[in-house]
Amino acid sequence: MSRYAAALDFGSSKVALAVGEKTPGGIKIVSYHDLPSAGIECGEIVNDFKVKEIVRSLVTMAETELQEEIGEVTVGLSGRILHSRELPCQINRTDPNAYITEEEVRQITRTRYNANIDGGDVVFEAVPQKYSTEERFGINHDELIGMVGGTIEATFRLFYGKRAILDRRTNLLEACGLKLNKAILAPIASARAVLSRPEMENGVALVDIGKSSTEVAVIKDNIVRDVAIIPFGGESVTNDIKNVTGITNQWAETLKVQHGRCCEEFAVENKKLVLKNENDNDDGEVEISLLARVIEARMSEIFDAVRYVIEKSGYAQKLTSGVVITGGSCHLENIIQLAAALLGQKIRLAAPQGSIESGSVEDAFDVYASTAVGLVLETIEPMLSHAVEYKKDTMPAAAKVEENSLFEEEEEPVIDERASAREERERRREEERRAKELRKQEEARRKQEEKERKAREKAEKKKQPTFFDMLFSDNDNA
């Protein structure tokens, strides 16, 4: 058995392969390679052939470097749609005087992956929130081990989505001669890589701003309380700059990275950037204040969505450690000021640092490596993820109840779920309806504020509308 653990991050901007090992000083990343993505949109594989070629190239690089074959990998899961729900369950024990063991608790968690989910969805993560026995209520995992009792009540947070997200990864790995070890939600992996242990205990929200999406994980008492994926990221900012200014996508990305700010008030007024191509010909010009205005508008939208996720989790007032931001767009100027103003939390930027050995390869400490590094950490020493090892034809490894198990088969929670399936569907529909209504109200408020702002600007400046004004005017009429 190899001493190494390998992990693949299928990102929209890059595909990364990280390899690590357990050492006396901690976990060391011994190899890290990434290549530009092709065939991946919003974390979902849409062109298997292109992605397969990238994976093969990455594996060859790592195997050449390590002089050892990579046989299995852990993969990150992301995508446009991720749902969550709470699942309470009760397990009757055949021997109430027997001590509750670590393996018994693992069995309870493994069985949750068999939960009956509507619409062909599959459980990606089943995270225990709290346990109770006849004598103790609302205890954590460590307190439960070693207790006795006739019943164990547990509350799980299930994170689930389209089965195709996992199936395409599995089939692709098999085509590359690889086996799937575990499948872990990407936001959970990123959180493990960049958060400190005190932050995860005291309460924190991790925000990973990627190319095509922003991923959020809310953590309290070292337990993942909620995970969400927002379908906007750095690429949305670039597209807005391109559309408003009329420049090329390449210029828009360059200006965003080199001159972009998240707050218009800090931008230099009446200063323009003149764009020169390789032939020293003009490709146009962009006002710095306009550039900042466009970036601020989109980043504000992203942070408004982050705030909604945090408030919906119920932990907005319990995040003592505030919000930690990572990902490729986290280094935009003034992002801390904008995030602090919109989220009402203290903010810090982060990359993998204290979570891995200082002797790890240099690239592993970059913000772009957060997810891949976190996947390796959660494979070697699981802390936040409860993903189970994958077995063919099961997702994940469906743990059968053994004959000598301490659980009574008639208490299998899947049966309870089926009995309440209709009620659960109605509850989800009602939640979706309420969320949709809230989004409509927020959009109406935003449009009204924007309309009032435009009116003030027009009255004060008495000039023709800018490209930015026309863009948002079009959005209002859409």
Domain borders along the chain are: 83-159+396-429, 196-349, 430-477
Provide the token pair at 5: 């653990």
State the Cα–Cα distance between residues 433 and 439, nearest whole angstrom. 10
Express the helix, strand and coil content of the chain in percent, nearest 5 each. Answer: 45, 25, 30
pLDDT in the model for residue 396? 44
pLDDT in tens, the chain (478 residues): 478 999 999 998 999 999 999 999 999 999 999 999 999 988 888 899 999 999 999 999 999 999 999 999 999 998 777 889 999 999 999 999 999 999 999 999 999 998 877 777 899 999 999 999 998 999 998 899 999 999 999 999 999 988 888 899 999 999 999 999 999 999 999 999 999 999 999 999 999 999 999 999 999 999 999 999 999 999 999 999 999 999 999 999 999 999 999 999 888 777 888 898 877 777 788 999 999 999 999 999 999 999 999 999 999 999 999 999 999 888 899 999 999 999 999 999 999 988 999 999 999 999 999 999 999 999 999 999 999 887 654 444 333 333 333 333 333 333 343 334 445 555 556 666 666 666 677 677 777 777 777 777 666 665 555 544 444 444 444 4
State the Cα–Cα distance between residues 87 and 155, nearest whole angstrom. 6
Closest-CA residue to 154 (of 170, 182, 183, 131): 131
Provide the token pair at 120: 């062909």
pLDDT in the model for residue 279? 75
Beta bridge partners of 274: 285
Mutual orientation of helices 288-313 and 249-259 as an angle, nearest 10°?
A: 80
pLDDT in the model for residue 277? 80
Report which DSSP code applies to 1. Answer: -
Q: Exposed e or buried b for every residue in 250-273, given b needs 16+ CB within 10 A?
A: ebbbbbbeebbbbbbeebeeeeeb
pTM of the predicted structure, to 2 decimals: 0.79
The set of residues, in sequence order, having a beta carbon less than 8 Å from that of 223 and lying 6+ positions away, is 127, 128, 129, 140, 384
Provide the token pair at 128: 């225990």
Q: How many CA atoms within 13 Å lie on the side-chain side of 59?
A: 19
The set of residues, in sequence order, having a beta carbon less than 8 Å from that of 137 and lying 6+ positions away, is none
Provide the token pair at 60: 């060859």
Tell which CATH architecture fits domain 196-349. Answer: 2-Layer Sandwich (3.30)
Closest-CA residue to 30 (of 39, 18, 43): 18
Q: What are phi and psi of 198, to 5 degrees?
A: -60, -35
The set of residues, in sequence order, having a beta carbon less than 8 Å from that of 106 and lying 6+ positions away, is none
pLDDT in the model for residue 430? 60
What are the C-alpha distances in Å from 317 to residues 197, 235, 340? 19, 31, 15
